[in-house]
């Protein structure tokens, strides 16, 4: 059985249809693919209670919580910069989003591919995720590593086609 490499997991985002009651709507990212996806861990906190000196505890569990998701992409000035002919360049989208952190909602779809073919049923869908962080393209004059930018979202639910 083939393993799934990290390069086969990508994410796409789209503004949430009904949650954005803003004067300026959040930018659409159409076919843009985020190369790195991190976070989204699901955890529940617990309390262990030792009743009356019992040697084993009673475990009380709180509702689960989903951690923030950070989507990262490599910044390509020829593809994403202001000198492109495309009116939807990333620089413009990031400029618009600077004022929308904490206000804009997006739907996030994390997709799994196998040999560049989408694997049906493995998508994770985080709907109505609030943009809580924006990291501008980074720089380091002594490095040849690619520059990246990132968007961080607070999520409250996750769905997949498998459990529907």
CATH code of the region 6-160: 2.30.110
pLDDT of residue 57: 92
pLDDT of residue 84: 47
pLDDT of residue 1: 42
pLDDT of residue 128: 93
DSSP 8-state code for residue 25: P
- Average pLDDT over the chain reads 82
H or E segment and range at residue 77 = helix 77-80
pLDDT tens, position by position, 130-142: 999 999 988 888 8
Contact 70, 133 (CB under 8 A): yes
Contact 125, 106 (CB under 8 A): no
What are the residues whose beta carbons fall under 8 Å from the beta carbon of 5, sequence distance 6 or more? none
pLDDT of residue 93: 87
pLDDT tens, position by position, 80-121: 555 444 555 788 888 889 999 999 999 999 887 766 666 666
Give the confidence band of 127 by pLDDT, cuts at 50, 70, 90: very high
């Amino acid at each position: 059985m083939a393993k799934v490499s990290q390069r086969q997991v990508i994410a796409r985002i789209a503004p949430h249809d009904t949650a954005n009651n803003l004067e300026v709507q959040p930018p659409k990212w159409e076919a843009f693919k985020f190369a790195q996806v991190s976070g989204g861990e699901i955890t529940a906190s617990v309390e262990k209670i030792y009743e009356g000196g019992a040697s084993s505890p009673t475990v009380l569990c709180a509702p689960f919580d989903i951690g923030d998701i950070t989507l990262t992409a490599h910044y390509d000035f020829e593809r994403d910069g202001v000198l492109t002919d495309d009116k939807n360049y990333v620089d413009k989208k990031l400029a618009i989003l600077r004022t929308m952190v904490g206000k804009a909602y997006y739907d996030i779809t994390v997709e799994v591919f196998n040999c560049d073919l989408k694997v049906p049923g493995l998508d994770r869908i985080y709907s109505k995720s609030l943009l809580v962080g924006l990291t501008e393209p980074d720089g380091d004059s002594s490095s040849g590593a690619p520059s990246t930018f990132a968007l961080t979202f607070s999520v409250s639910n996750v769905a997949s086609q498998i459990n529907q």
